[in-house]
Amino acid sequence: MKTAIAVLTVLAVMAAIWYAACVPMNIKGVLDGAERAGVEITPATARERREMSALGLVADNSFAISEVWSQDRPRLPAPHQVAVELWQTTVEKRITSKRSLIYHGQVTLSATLLGFVIGTGLGILLAVGIVHSRVMDMSVMPWAIVSQTIPIIALAPMIIVVLYSIGVQGILPKAIISAYLSFFPVVVGMVKGLRSPDQMQLDLLKTYGASTGQGFWKLRFPASMPYLFASLKIGIAASLIGAIVGELPTGAVAGLGARLLAGSYYGQTVQIWSALFAAAILAAVLVALLGLIERRVLKRMGVQA
Amino acid sequence: MVMVILAILIWCAGWWVNSRLANSVAADTRAVKLAVPIIFGIVVLIVWELLVRGLEVSLVILPAPSLIVTRFAASLPILWQDFQQTILKGALSGYLIGCTAALLMAIAVDRSDFLRRGLLPVGNFVAALPIVGTAPILVMWFGFDWQSKAAVVVVMVFFPVLVNTVAGLRETSAMQRDLMQTYAASYWQSFFKLRLPAALPFIFNGLKISTTLALVGAIVAEFFGSPTVGMGFRISTSVGQLALDMVWAEILVAALAGSAFYGVMALFEKTLTFWHPSQRG
């Protein structure tokens, strides 16, 4: 309860700061518009206004303040403008419409999920290999760690062009970038998890005469679940970033990344912000969903009381 | 065909050498631990080179490593310019500003229980969001030059560092804090002598995660508009010209810079947290 109040207070303060920030950010645009409409403004020309600080303009033209939250193309849209745009582009549009965020969201989401499944599958396989083969552990693992320090996003445009040139396009190139980004968190977490049973437990299985396969399925695999889910949560957020960034360099026409790019080309700030919030909500939902699955799975396995 | 067979043979030979090394008695020595991944890396490069040449893969799809190195050596001035623009100006300045701001904020959060309760869940939440999407907005606000890239980096590194630092500052036990109190230590004395050192492993965890994020932020922000220099700019225009050897050269720069950046932070960590169990031995 205390936490809820604190969180709500912080959110309210952030919203208040946001609304306040709109005033200096948007005042120049509002005044330019008012000048064209024939309203008298204190420094009369746009050139003079450019010299002045935003706060000075606000002080001189306090009548214009009410306008800063309802501009068409503000530098900083007010929260309610973003909310209205989100509502209009999700609920009020048919989901097949090119302007529907649900349509764009599902384009990005399908690439994210496909990539996530591929990345997780390969990651688990590699982790199993690393745990069971000393050669793989010693030769692949250091490179997996080094690759974490490389901005893999830099590969994104190239992967897309290369795949395009051999005839692969659409969802798969983006999914490959997503897979790449979710791959390494899963490998690292899964290796840690599969190694988490201690020597005593492994020895016990040996005294039972269990085979390597039995040891894997009955001990190592269940023991790795908490680690796996922790990695999956990181991995799915990374997947979504991969899918969004994968849409940037090719000038894709659909998807949240395409929406961001188009908004940036045409100065449609409200569109950028609503796409950003849609991406944030999508990420939050995906992580929360994994958290839910985690809790159910771990409960069935008796990990948590 | 000869080259393809050669590639397969070299792969098998490399694997055989590595498995002999990894399963030998000397497997735990430092030399072998270094040699195995290096052999693996070299074998991958040789196989890559042989397969590309043997199967006559077009340069457009996958340039051979030798071509990438040639291109790298031939365009050092351009790469250096891009490096300065993206890494030194964009990523590094943003990283410094973002991490400093996050550390100061973390101290404020730590001092106030209300802020910790309120801000930490929000910070945890924001840290998992695709913040790189703020790039078009920040490019619109701060212009095309490096300032906007630095701003993107600030936003991206802020929350991971904040969340980790706050968690680190909570790391000391009540007993230790009580002991400081019985010494009549002031807040700042107990902060600098007890809590900050205890938080360092966590802080460095955040700082190390942020090194990659900084590079990613700076490069991706350039996709949304940049002056005619910079790694992100070069990558997207070279892709447009199908000059993939140039793209790979830039990726090589990014890889070297990213690893060096991470390495420097790891080195700092090692000197500052030599006492921590994870750094011993």
Res A305: pLDDT? 47
Which whole-number Å values give the CA distances from A285 to A114, A278, A282, B98, B127, in the listed order?
A: 17, 10, 5, 27, 14
**Pick from B215, B216, B233, B258: nearest CA to B130:** B216
A118-132, A239-253, B61-75, B76-90: the lowest-pLDDT one:
A239-253
Is residue A28 very low, low, confident or very high in pLDDT (cuts 50, 70, 90)? confident
Task: Please name the residue ranges forming H helices in chain B.
Answer: 2-22, 30-54, 65-74, 76-83, 93-111, 113-127, 135-142, 146-169, 174-182, 187-190, 196-221, 231-240, 244-272
Contact A272 B137 (CB under 8 A): yes
**Secondary structure class of B197 (helix, strand, coil):** helix
The question of ipTM being above 0.90 is answered as no
Domain membership flag for residue A71: yes
Q: Quick check: B142 contacting A, CB < 8 Å?
A: no
Q: Quick check: B278 contacting A, CB < 8 Å?
A: no
Q: State how far residue A161 is from chain B, nearest Cα, in angstroms.
A: 7
pLDDT tens sequence for chain B (281 residues): 788 888 888 889 888 888 888 888 777 788 888 888 888 889 989 888 888 888 887 777 788 888 889 989 998 999 999 998 888 888 999 999 999 999 999 998 888 888 888 888 888 888 777 888 888 888 888 888 888 999 999 998 998 899 889 888 888 888 888 999 999 999 889 889 898 988 998 899 889 889 888 988 888 888 887 788 888 888 888 877 878 888 889 888 988 898 899 889 989 988 888 887 777 65
- Give the pTM: 0.84
Statement: residue A119 has pLDDT above 90: yes
Domain membership flag for residue A86: no
- Inter-residue contact B247 to B238 (CB < 8 Å): yes
Counting one residue from A and one from B, how many pairs have CB atoms under 8 Å apart? 170
Interface test with A, best of B17, B209, B223 (most A CBs within 10 A): B223
Rounded to an integer, the average pLDDT of A103-130 is 91
Which whole-number Å values give the CA distances from B210 to A44, A148, B90, B206, B270, in the listed order?
A: 47, 11, 14, 6, 17
Between B260 and A253, the more confident residue is: B260
Q: How far is A75 from A184, CA to CA, in rounded Å?
A: 38
Domain membership flag for residue A166: yes
A76, A92, A117: which is the final residue of a domain? Answer: A76
In this structure, are A10 and A146 located in the same domain? no
Is residue A141 very low, low, confident or very high in pLDDT (cuts 50, 70, 90)? confident
Domain membership flag for residue A91: no
Domain count, chain A: 2
In this structure, are A51 and A125 located in the same domain? no
Share of chain A above pLDDT 90, in %: 10
Highest average pLDDT, of A169-183, A273-287, B57-71, comes from A273-287
Domain membership flag for residue A90: no
In this structure, are A11 and A154 located in the same domain? no
A44-58, A263-277, B9-23, B127-141: the lowest-pLDDT one:
A44-58
Our CA dihedral for A137, A138, A142, A145, rounded to 10 degrees, sits at: 10
Contact A10 B244 (CB under 8 A): no
Q: How far is A129 from A123, CA to CA, in rounded Å?
A: 10
pLDDT tens for each residue of B217-226: 888 888 887 7
Contact A162 B61 (CB under 8 A): yes
The residue range of the domain holding A28 is 2-76
In this structure, are A8 and A142 located in the same domain? no
In this structure, are A37 and A162 located in the same domain? no
Structural tokens at position A147: 């690759």
Chain centre to alpha carbon of residue B131: 16
Domain membership flag for residue A82: no
Statement: residue A1 has pLDDT above 50: yes
In this structure, are A63 and A123 located in the same domain? no
Task: Please name the residue ranges forming H helices in chain A.
Answer: 2-36, 46-51, 54-60, 79-90, 101-132, 134-148, 156-165, 171-194, 199-207, 212-215, 221-247, 256-266, 269-301
Between A264 and A189, the more confident residue is: A189
Domain membership flag for residue A186: yes
Is residue A115 very low, low, confident or very high in pLDDT (cuts 50, 70, 90)? very high
Q: Quick check: B16 contacting A, CB < 8 Å?
A: no
In this structure, are A20 and A167 located in the same domain? no
In this structure, are A182 and A115 located in the same domain? yes
Mean of the per-residue pLDDT values of chain A: 83
Rounded to an integer, the average pLDDT of A188-193 is 88
As a three-state string, the secondary structure of A52-121 is CCHHHHHHHCHHHHHHCCCCCCCCCCCHHHHHHHHHHHHCCCCCCCCCCHHHHHHHHHHHHHHHHHHHHH
Domain membership flag for residue A133: yes
In this structure, are A122 and A156 located in the same domain? yes
What letter would DSSP give residue A40?
-
Statement: residue A262 has pLDDT above 90: no
Set of chain B residues whose Cβ sits within 8 Å of the Cβ of A135: 15, 18-19, 22-23, 36
The CATH number of whichever domain residue A192 belongs to comes to 1.10.3720.10
Structural tokens at position A19: 């609304």
Q: How far is A34 from A42, CA to CA, in rounded Å?
A: 11
Res B97: pLDDT? 95
Rounded to an integer, the average pLDDT of A67-80 is 81
Contact B27 A279 (CB under 8 A): no
In this structure, are A111 and A235 located in the same domain? yes
Sequence-distant (6+) residues with CB within 8 A of A100 are A89, A90, A93, A94
A59, A76, A93: which is the final residue of a domain? Answer: A76
**Secondary structure class of B236 (helix, strand, coil):** helix
In this structure, are A166 and A227 located in the same domain? yes
What letter would DSSP give residue B125?
H
In this structure, are A130 and A52 located in the same domain? no
